Amino acid sequence: MRIRKAVFPAAGFGTRFLPATKAIPKEMLTLVDKPLIQYAVEEAKASGLEEIIIVTGMGKTAIEDHFDTSFELEILLKERGKAELLKRIEEVSELVHFAYTRQKKPLGLGHAIGITRNLINNEPFAVFLGDDIIDAKVPAMKQMLGVFNKYRGSVLAVQKVPRSQTHMYGVIKGKKVGEGVYKVLDLVEKPKGKAPSNLAIIGRYILTPEIFQALGVTEPGKGGEIQLTDALRILIKTQDIYACEFEGVRYDAGDRIGFLKANIAFALKRPETRDEIRRFLKGLRL
Ligand code: UTP
């Protein structure tokens, strides 16, 4: 039961980032010089995943173009002798194998995953929400695959957040079963009262194919959307679900503040931008 496929739901409207996301998909906003979604695709590849299924929607063609070959651009770069840039462009289209499917209406994350059923074909699979950027020594998904291989159940990525922020996340109630590993006893989407813990679900999942049956009987929740958390609550009645508290720094780049922090952090890591950005930040009179 090796995991080969990864689903990237990318059909949301990205309302938190308007007006930037009116005509540009949120996933194509740039972190230093690469679109957000490419970081997650590179994480998938570095974790050994081979096939990426992107769920797109209206106005998302830039994502397909980005991962496609760009014949004209490649010719131009060759003619101008820009070998380094040419290599970087070619690398993008050669990353992994891509398939696309379209969610006709944004009926929720659960619905977006549900429509990949025929492409997944009865095997466990990974899910990446591309606006969660995780900077980690060992790719976060690779850490989760280690948990899956040991416990053989669905795995949710979790991270401790301040209690004051639990209302913004899906939160688990868990029992520790190993270093950074919890057996999930219950999960609550955006808890209003006291949250069951401070372990928040982050945008990486490993799901068993039984999630599709659960999604099929999940009632639409707020705004008519089918929530993945509701389907997981159905699944947990018949299968164990685990949570992996991954090691790494996570940025919510689908939100303005998280996006800006990620840009600064990544610019300070990259050798070509590090010194100048450091000088600039030091010179700011805050
Ligand atoms: P979000 O909750 O972040 O929604 O979706 P969003 O539309 O992208 O952004 P905001 O909150 O309005 O700013 C979580 C993930 O699920 C996908 C999104 O593309 C994102 O990756 N999604 C959401 C879908 O693919 N389809 C949907 O119907 C809803």
- Whether the CB-CB separation of 203 and 229 falls below 8 Å is answered with no
Q: Which atom of ligand 1 is nearest to the CA of 130?
A: 21
Question: Does the pLDDT at position 24 exceed 80?
Answer: yes
Q: How far apart are CA 139 and CA 110, in angstroms?
A: 24
Q: Average of pLDDT values for 167-176?
A: 95
Average pLDDT over every residue of 240-248: 97
C-beta 174 within 6 A of ligand 1: no
15-24: long-range contacts, CB 8 A cutoff, minimum separation 24? 16/254, 16/255, 16/256, 17/254, 17/255, 17/256, 17/259, 23/59, 24/62
Neighbours of 253 (CB within 10 A): 26
φ, ψ at 95 (rounded to 5°): -55, -60
Helix (H, G, I), strand (E, B) or coil at 53: strand
Confidence of residue 188 (pLDDT cuts 50, 70, 90): very high
Ligand 1 atom with the shortest distance to the CA of 8: 21
pLDDT of residue 87: 82
Quick one: pLDDT at residue 221? Answer: 84
| Mutual angle of helices 256-269 and 271-283, in 10-degree steps | 120
Q: Given ligand 1 and candidates 109, 225, 230, which is best to mutate, with the most ligand atoms within 8 Å of its CB? A: 109
Instruction: Decide whether any atom of ligand 1 lies within 6 Å of the 35 Cβ.
Output: no
**Cβ pair 201, 229 in contact under 8 A:** yes
Judge if the beta carbon of residue 103 lies within 6 A of ligand 1.
yes
Residue 142 burial (C-beta neighbours within 10 Å; 0-12, 13-18, 19+)? middle
Domains: count for the chain: 1
CA of 22 to the centre of ligand 1 (A): 14
For ligand 1, say whether the CB of 55 is within 6 Å of any of its atoms: yes
The single residue listed with the structure tokens 């780049």 is 253
For residue 258 the two structure tokens come to 């998280």
**What is the per-residue pLDDT for 90?**
77
Residue 85, burial from CB neighbour count under 10 angstroms (0-12, 13-18, 19+): middle
- The pLDDT, as a whole number, for residue 239 is 96
- For the Cβ of 9 lying below 6 angstroms from any atom of ligand 1, the answer is yes
Q: Which atom of ligand 1 is nearest to the CA of 17?
A: 13
| Ligand 1 atom with the shortest distance to the CA of 21 | 13
Looking at the CA of residue 255, tell me the nearest atom of ligand 1.
13
129 lines ligand 1 (CB under 6 A): yes
pLDDT of amino acid 163 = 93
User: Mean pLDDT across the stretch 139-163?
Assistant: 97
pLDDT computed for residue 51 by the predictor: 94
List, for residues 60-112, the tens digit of each pLDDT value.
889 988 887 777 888 888 888 888 888 877 776 777 899 999 999 999 999 99
Q: What distance in angstroms lies between residue 125's CA and the mean position of ligand 1's atoms?
A: 19
> Cβ(170) to ligand 1 under 6 A?
no
Beta carbon of 114 within 6 Å of any ligand 1 atom = no
Calculate mean pLDDT across residues 208-213: 97
Beta bridge partners of 178: 181
Say yes or no: CB of residue 109 within 6 Å of ligand 1.
Answer: yes
Task: Give, using CA atoms, the residue closest to atom 4 of ligand 1.
Answer: 12
Instruction: Give the position, in ligand 1's atom list, of the atom nearest the Cα of 107.
Output: 28
The CATH code of the domain that includes 262 is 3.90.550.10
Rounded percentage of the chain residues whose pLDDT exceeds 70: 99
Which domain does 109 fall in, by range?
5-283
As a whole number, the mean pLDDT across the chain is: 93
- Encoded tokens for 176: 């520790």
How much distance in Å is there from the Cα of 149 to the middle of ligand 1? 29
Q: How far is the CA of 107 from the centre of ligand 1 (A)?
A: 10
